[in-house]
Amino acid sequence: MVDAALEKRQVKRAYALYSPIYDFIFDRIFHPGRVAALKALDIQPDDRILEVGIGTGLNLPLYPPRCRLTGIDLSDKMLEKAQEKIEELGLGNVTLKVMDASAMDFADNEFDQALATYVISAVPDPLGVLREMRRVVKPGGTIVILNHFRSQSRLVGTFEDLVSPLCTRLGWKSNLPMEPLLKDVGLAPELSMKVNLLNGWRLLRCVNRK
**What letter does residue 43 receive in the DSSP assignment?**
P
Q: CA–CA separation, 72 vs 18, rounded Å?
A: 17
Residue 25: which pLDDT band, with cuts at 50, 70 and 90? Answer: low
Q: CA–CA separation, 210 vs 203, rounded Å?
A: 22
pTM: 0.85
Residue-level length of the chain? 210
User: For residues 108 and 135, is the Cβ–Cβ distance under 8 A?
Assistant: yes
Q: How many CB atoms are located within 10 Å of the residue 131 CB?
A: 16
Q: Domain map of the chain by residue range?
A: 2-207
Q: What pLDDT digit, counting tens, does each position of 89-137 carry?
A: 999 999 999 999 999 999 999 999 999 999 999 888 999 999 999 999 9
CATH number of 2-207: 3.40.50.150
User: For residues 192 and 183, is the Cβ–Cβ distance under 8 A?
Assistant: no
Q: CA–CA separation, 170 vs 25, rounded Å?
A: 14
More confident residue, 175 or 138: 138
Q: What pLDDT digit, counting tens, does each position of 54-102 carry?
A: 999 999 999 999 999 999 999 898 899 999 999 999 999 999 999 999 9
Residue 21: which pLDDT band, with cuts at 50, 70 and 90? Answer: low
